[in-house]
Amino acid sequence: MALHPQVKAYLERVSGTRPDGATMTPAQARAYSAAVQRGKGPEVTKTEDRTIPVQGGTIPVRIYLPKGVGPLPALVWLHGGGWVGGDIDLADGASRHIANWASCVVVSVGYRLAPEFKFPVPAEDCYAAARWTFDNSASLNADPKRIAIGGSSAGGNLAAAVALMARDRNGPPLIYQALVYPVIERNFDTKSYRRNGEGLFLTRAMMQFYWEQYLRSVADAEHSYAAPIKAKSLKGLPPALVQTAEYDPLRDEGESYAAALKKAGVRTKLTRYKGMIHGFVSMWSEIDAGRDALAEVARELKKSFR
């Protein structure tokens, strides 16, 4: 189908603000992530900002508590931004919606960013946050037996990596993974890159920049914690929801990962949102399908939490 009218209107509104991926700097990438429409999400019972320890430092987390008597299930949520930009505020609306709709505690993670902190630091930060959520479940009013991981874009990449880490390192036990238009591998020659890599919200040149900032060397692109589809086996991973967008250069890699998960025996649901571009979930206040996608994440989480 054609680009959705709401997507067209969004792209027209932000026309001229996208940096040139070939000359983009980390500061420009962060400003671009910050410019994504951030509608005020719904009220939750309580939010709390904390700082948690990670190897070599600390990172911020924001905790969202919905109504309900605990212990409640929990979701560790990882924002997008190409590993270079984005922050807890970018994920605030999504975190609020999911907390309310899935009736779960949401722990939104402010992992350290590239290029100051290259792979594997952001992935290790996110794994540490999942471990912290499990270890501190009592103080979060959370059920340690019902913890899920999720994220969008680069956050989807990190969520998939954390699921692999948790399996490989025997914990924490994760029961679900929600991957919203995730980055899955460093491959700029898929059909969706060729068709959707220019002129939309995310471009091929921008993704080349993001990967260059994130990896220490091209060799890192073969590591499964950077490119989850490179894992020798995907068996034993938690059930997954993978969401993709029709006009996203990352569409094909996300759908290939969903197929690989299914082939490995992992219960996986794949949803392609027609007429949508990369980032549409973060644009939920302007694009109705963004809210629909968050509602789907919440529905699938509720099923897993049961």
Give the pLDDT score at 19. Answer: 87
Catalytic residue among 92, 125, 248, 252: 248
Give the pLDDT score at 232. Answer: 98
Give the pLDDT score at 70. Answer: 83
Contacts 24+ apart (CB under 8 A), 290-296: 291/97, 293/180, 293/243, 294/94, 294/97, 294/98, 294/101, 295/97, 295/101, 296/241, 296/243, 296/271
Give the pLDDT score at 192. Answer: 98
Give the pLDDT score at 40. Answer: 83
DSSP string of 200-269? Answer: SSS-HHHHHHHHHHH-SSGGGGGSTTTSGGG-S--TTPPPEEEEEEEE-TTHHHHHHHHHHHHHTT--EE
The mean pLDDT value for 88-98 works out to 96
- The pLDDT confidence band at residue 254, using thresholds 50, 70 and 90, is very high
List 270's β-bridge partners, or say none: 242
Tens digits of per-residue pLDDT, 177-227? 999 999 999 999 999 999 999 989 999 999 999 999 999 999 999 999 999
Q: How far apart are the first and last CA of the chain?
A: 36
pLDDT at 36 over 80: no
Q: Are 127 and 162 in contact (CB under 8 A)?
A: yes
Among the ranges given (32-46, 141-155, 174-188, 213-227), the one the predictor scored with the smallest mean pLDDT: 32-46
Contacts of 172 (CB under 8 A, 6+ apart): 130, 131, 133, 134, 135, 144, 147, 166
Cα torsion for 93, 82, 245, 264, to the nearest 10°?
A: -110
pLDDT at 37 over 70: no
Give the pLDDT score at 69. Answer: 87
Catalytic residue among 153, 192, 224, 282: 153
- Its sign, for the CA torsion 42, 176, 76, 81, is negative
153 noted as active-site residue:
yes
What is the pTM (predicted TM-score) of this model?
A: 0.97
Tokens for 16, please give them: 């001229």
What integer best gives the mean pLDDT of the chain?
Answer: 96
In order of start, what are the domains of the chain with their CATH numbers? 5-305 (3.40.50.1820)
Catalytic residue among 4, 79, 97, 278: 278
79 noted as active-site residue:
no
